Amino acid sequence: MAILFDEKKKLFTLSTRNTTYQMKVDMFGVLNHIYYGEKVGQEDMSYLLDYRDSGFSGNLYEAENQREYSLDTRPQEYSTNGVGDYRINSVSVINPDGTDAVDMRYVSYEIVKGKYSIPGMPALYGDEKDAETLAITVKDAVTGLEAVLFYSVWEERDIITRCVKFKNSSNETIVLKKAASMNLDLMRGDWQLVHFHGRHCMERQMERVPVINGRMSIESVRGASSHHHNPFTILCAGETTEEFGPCYGTALVYSGNFAVEVEKDQMGQTRLTAGISTERFSWELKTGEEFYTPEAVMTFSSEGFGKMSSNFHHTFREHLCRGKYVHERRPVLINNWEATYFTFDNEKIISIAEGAAKLGVEMLVLDDGWFGKRDDDLSGLGDWIVNTEKLKGGLKPIADGINALGMKFGLWFEPECISEDSDLYRAHPDWAIQIPGRKPSRSRYQLILDMSREDVREYLFKKMTQVLDSANIEYVKWDMNRHISDVYSAKLPKERQGEVCHRYMLGLYELLEKLVTRYPDILWEGCSGGGGRFDLGMLYYSPQIWCSDDTDAVERVKIQYGTSFAYPISTVGSHVSAVPNHQTGRNTLLETRGNVAMAGSFGYELDLNLLSDEEKEEVKEQIKKFKKYYTLTHEGEYYRLTNPFENHLYAAWEFVAPDQSEALIHGVQTMAQPNSPSQNIPVKGLDPEKMYEVNGSLVRSGRALMAGGLNLPRQEGDYLPVEFYIKEV
């Protein structure tokens, strides 16, 4: 069994293939966190609790003169607030008497087969053979606020998921001001924090910093998980590498405002909490009402970042992403955006499709500009009616024409946003998020629709289904091109305005669920100005997300490197674009752009008709190669071979088949050197007993290749492609 409870010791032990997680109810009913790390079986690790009287760290009243017992120093499973623990709390409230104290004590537990679910929110899914669930109820005896701490254990992949359900069992209203999804207290270790920051067109840039004596926060308050910070962090030891050392990965299944807080306390202990950001958050709980936090997903690896990423990749592919395209090969697509922007008509789109079809492209996606009055980004958002002056006869002639070429047809939407110059805004200005009496902040010259409103969601569902039913549309790109400010909902009273941002996410998830249920065969791709909402919450509805609006192959190496620490390669939307690149002005070879784009779901972001005959032949070969290697890249084991933030000479990554019969190494020589010494590329994941050929000639054992690596080809020039195909002989 993955979950055991020792009734005599009041000890909970959660076991996976390689890890142990322990909690213990102490003599005062406090749920202590005891241990999380390498597997130790059922042994009671509470012998590690070693504390003395610490000045200015007070004691529980019930502890009487046991001055060594303090909530301010002991590791807790779900940290309290206002009752003696001065560290980061997990929960904060406004009680009926105006106080903020929360003192949660153990009540009961339940162990069941299978995975818990969260009403109205995305979460990992699994049946009885996949997971086992523990639910521990704790309660504040004074106020009647209950919390059920859920844990699901995924034994085979060393994964533990967590969420919390709050219930107001009192006779008066309680307001939640903070409701973390998880708390992790580590008694030992000198840890570093790895997080992934950035900006638009430069997402998920890896940064590794020591955990300081104090508090650190990785947070988004933008109404979306954002380009700027990702809801995924790692605690690791200073010596941890890709293959060695301990690390704890934590990822939130949430797409809105979030916070990951880390603190090293006076005893050198480290606490990490993760959940909804407290900024602009409050939630009114009336008698009997419940509130669920988003899900947090944890894994521990003693074998470095590579094993941690593998745990996440397999789990998210199999138990988060849904629909026919989880394993079915996704079509090679071309998007017209960088080829035409807003200026196109039937003939132009069909012309792009005809040229692409001849080269083997399987889908054309019509991007922004097909609806309402939309000749630039100043108007039209919200009016989801086909512009028949631009597209004669609507979308059906376009879709039929593209289908006649043997291609699929896809469409871009930006449902969450609205232009002031739109029929929708003129009819319903109160549907936009803005504060009465203030001029709202514009971004991309647009506002945000209030997705917390049922009437807004009903309008969008009606308009989108009318469009999707009007033609054979087999792909939808769901975009969001600004963040939320001026937070206010005309539908909520003043005392509940702190609920707007989370209700927005609940409304968005509800609409997405209705749409993906109605159209199970559509391939949905998430997007928010590229990778501004690349998170597990959106992956529950769309099995791939546009990784970044920066399509430059050299910049994408870093972006895709950071993304890979938590997110499977199969979830990455990545395309070959025109040169000079539209974001950086850089020129790179078509082969280089193709190799980088194959570390994701592949496509093109340019007018292929403008290529030379030689380049067109190269595109044909790229598409054949992508199809040939699809199972390897999308289902295989992924290895980061270099760190592009440290190695400025070349970058490399590898895919290995599940049966270790083949592998593919791709890379980029980023900087040429004069009189350069030989550069070595590591090789990983092969069977040491098997013999392999490399690029059809060199034959060596897996043991030799992994021990010696491969020599980087000697090439003159920057941004040159590197490729090794390794196959069992």
Same domain, residue pair 311 and 377:
no
CATH of the domain at 406: 3.20.20.70
* Start-end of H helices in 194-328: 304-319
> Is 69 within the bounds of a domain?
yes
Beta-carbon contacts of 164 under 8 Å, excluding residues fewer than 6 positions away, are 78, 147, 148, 149, 150, 179, 180, 181, 182, 292, 293
Q: Which of 525, 546, 567 lies at the terminal end of a domain, its last residue?
A: 546
- Chain centroid to CA 413: 21
Name the catalytic one among 62, 290, 458, 615: 615
In a domain, 597, yes or no: no
Last residue of a domain, one of 517, 546, 575: 546
Percent of the residues in the chain that have a pLDDT greater than 90, as a whole number: 99
Residue 252 shares a structural domain with residue 110: yes
Phi, psi (rounded to 5 degrees) for 564 = -70, -15
- Cβ neighbours of 29 (radius 10 Å): 17
**722: CATH:** 2.60.40.1180
Q: How many CB atoms lie within 10 A of CB 214?
A: 9
- Residue of 303, 362, 414, 535 with catalytic role: 535
Residue 353: is its pLDDT beyond 90?
yes
Total domains, the chain: 3
Region 493-522: mean pLDDT is: 98
535 is catalytic: yes
**Does residue 366 sit in the same domain as residue 276?**
no
Element (H, E) at 184: strand 174-186
Q: Given a cut of 90, is residue 472 above it in pLDDT?
A: yes
pLDDT at 206 over 90: yes
The three state secondary structure string of 582-642 is CCCCCCCCHHHHHHHHCCCEEEEECCHHHCCHHHHHHHHHHHHHHHHCHHHHHHCEEEECC
Is residue 378 located within the same domain as residue 468? yes
Q: DSSP secondary structure string, 18-54?
A: SEEEEEEE-TTS-EEEEEEEE--TT--GGGG------
Task: Answer yes or no: is 614 within a domain.
Answer: no
Q: Token pair for residue 189?
A: 């270790």
3-state class (DSSP) for residue 414: coil
Instruction: Give the position of tokens 């199809």.
Output: 627
Sorted by sequence, the CB contacts under 8 Å of residue 617 that are 6+ apart come out as none
Alpha helix (H) ranges present in 394-545? Answer: 395-404, 423-427, 454-469, 500-518, 536-539
Residue 426: alpha-carbon gap to chain centroid: 36
- CB-CB contact of 534 with 196 (8 Å): no
CATH number of the domain encompassing residue 13: 2.70.98.60
> What's the CA angle centered on 535, arms 132 and 246, to 5 degrees?
60
Whether residue 383 is predicted with pLDDT greater than 90 in this model: the reply is yes
Whether 322 and 542 have beta carbons less than 8 Å apart is answered as no
In a domain, 604, yes or no: no
Residue 52 falls inside a structural domain: yes
CA dist 618 and 378 (Å) reads 38
Last-in-domain residue among 546, 564, 596:
546
Under a CB-based contact definition with an 8 Å cutoff, are residues 184 and 173 in contact?
Answer: no
605 in a structural domain:
no
One-letter identity of residue 454: E
Give pLDDT, residue 1.
78
Residues 128 and 177 reside in one and the same domain: yes
What is the reported pLDDT for 176? 98
Contacts of 362 (CB under 8 A, 6+ apart): 331, 332, 333, 406, 407, 408
Angle at 308 between CA 306 and CA 314, to 5 degrees: 95
Query: What is the Cα–Cα distance from 406 to 400, expressed in whole angstroms?
Result: 10
Q: Do residues 349 and 423 both lie within one domain? A: yes
Nearest CA to 676 out of 720, 641, 644 is that of: 720
Residues 292 and 402 in one domain: no
Query: What pLDDT is attached to residue 553?
Result: 97
What is the chain's length? 729
Specify whether 88 is located in the same domain as 165: yes
**Can you give the pLDDT at residue 520?**
97
Q: Which residues contact 559 (CB under 8 A, 6 or more apart)?
A: 198, 202, 203, 204, 205, 531, 547, 548, 550
CA distance linking residue 315 with residue 658, whole number of Å: 15
* Average pLDDT estimate for 677-694: 97
pLDDT of 635 reads: 96
| Predicted local distance difference test score (pLDDT) of residue 289 | 98
387 and 525 within one domain: yes
- Identify the burial level of 426 via C-beta atoms within 10 angstroms of its C-beta, where 0-12 means exposed, 13-18 middle and 19 or more buried: exposed
Is 517 in a helix, a strand, or coil? helix
Q: What is the pLDDT of residues 279-302, one digit of tens each?
A: 999 999 999 999 999 999 999 999
| pTM of the complete model | 0.97
Residue 360 has pLDDT above 90, yes or no: yes
What tokens does 511 get? 């609409």
Please state whether 445 falls in left (phi above 0), alpha (psi between -120 and 50) or beta: left
Encode burial over 172-188: b for 16+ CB neighbours within 10 A, e otherwise: eebbbbbbbbbbbbbbe
What is the average pLDDT score of the chain?
97
Are residues 339 and 259 located together in one domain of the fold? no
pLDDT band per the 50, 70, 90 thresholds, residue 338: confident
- Give 70-123 pLDDT, tens digit per residue: 999 999 999 999 999 999 999 999 999 999 999 999 999 999 999 999 999 999
Is residue 632 in a domain? no
Confidence class of residue 52 from pLDDT cuts 50, 70 and 90?
Answer: very high
The dihedral of CA 15, 16, 19, 23: what is its sign? Answer: negative
Does residue 636 contact residue 658 with C-beta atoms inside 8 Å? yes
Q: Domain check: are 292 and 152 in the same one?
A: yes
Tens of pLDDT, residues 622-662: 999 999 999 999 999 999 999 999 999 999 999 999 999 99
Spatial neighbors of 594 by CB under 8 A, at least 6 apart, are: 576, 618, 622, 625, 626, 721
For residues 36 and 75, give the distance between their C-alpha atoms in angstroms, rounded to a whole number. 12
Q: Look at residue 715 and tell me if it is in a domain.
A: yes
Is residue 397 scored above 90 in pLDDT?
Answer: yes
Rounded Cα distance between 621 and 596, Å, is: 15
Predicted pLDDT of residue 469: 98
Q: What is the pLDDT of residues 546-605, one digit of tens each?
A: 999 999 999 999 999 999 999 999 999 999 999 999 999 999 999 999 999 999 999 999
Query: Which residues have C-beta within 8 Å of that of residue 103, sequence separation ≥ 6?
Result: 80, 83, 140, 141, 142
Show the domain range for 429.
324-546
d(CA 547, CA 528): 9
Tokens of 267: 């005893």
Q: Are 697 and 723 part of one and the same domain?
A: yes
Q: Which residues, 6+ apart, have CB-to-CB distance to 435 below 8 Å?
A: 486, 487, 488
Strand partners, 723: 666
